[in-house]
Amino acid sequence: MSLRHALLGLLAQGPASGYDLTRAFDGGIGQYAWQAGHSRIYPELGKMAEAGLVVVDETGPRGRKSYALTDEGRTELRRWMLHWPERTAVRDETVLRMFLVQSLEPDDARRLLEGIAEHCAAELAKLRPVMDEVDAEHDPREPVPFGRLAGEYGLRQYEAVHGWALWSLERMGATVPG
């Protein structure tokens, strides 16, 4: 039931409508952590309201319903964040491809690894300046801006995969570009 907790976590930043939350999944969370479309989000918000985890705190034009966390919701979010199950749910197509690299012919494997390395380098080139800008604009006496920790995670993730792809190419006996 991670969608529920993703929504609780997003609402912890402040009230939002189903529409707002749907757009939040277009960003980093949807790319790296969890995906959901509006057709799943609206019914889930309904159930969460029934369960007392959220309330409609405001209605706006076009039938907009803004949801806010209740104390119960915040408690449930905290419970979920602090206590991890033994084995957490992971489903990642990219990692699956990494596991299966060695099922390809060496030439194909090399091409794939080169593609991964290039992709990571490109993403790093996009993400690094964004994070640098966030840091430059941030007063160090204020709390860390929301999303900065997640952004750093993304950065380190791409660096790790990039390094892994180059290491793998070298290990396979390819001429490593760069």
Partner DNA sequence: AGCAACATGTAACGAGTTACATGATTTA
Partner DNA sequence: TAAATCATGTAACTCGTTACATGTTGCT
- Binding residues vs a second copy (CB under 8 A): 2, 5-6, 8-10, 12-13, 28-29, 31-35, 77-78, 81-82, 84, 87-104, 106, 108, 111-112, 115, 140-144, 146-150, 152-153, 156-157, 159-161, 163-164, 167-168, 171-172, 174-176
Q: What is the DSSP letter of 5?
A: H
Q: How near is the Cβ of 118 to a second copy at its closest, in Å?
A: 12
User: Two tokens at 77?
Assistant: 């979010």
d(CA 9, CA 155): 22
Nearest alpha carbon to residue 115 among 74, 178, 162, 67: 162
Q: Which long-range contacts (CB under 8 A, 24 or more apart) does 89-98 make?
A: 89/2, 98/164
From candidates 11, 22, 77, 110, binder to DNA by CB under 7 A: 22
Q: How near is the Cβ of 103 to a second copy at its closest, in Å?
A: 4
Contacts of 159 (CB under 8 A, 6+ apart): 120, 124
From candidates 50, 83, 86, 91, binder to DNA by CB under 7 A: 91
| Closer CB to DNA, 65 or 148, in the complex | 65
Query: Which residues are at the interface with DNA (CB under 7 A)?
Result: 1-3, 17-20, 22, 34-40, 42-46, 60-65, 89, 91
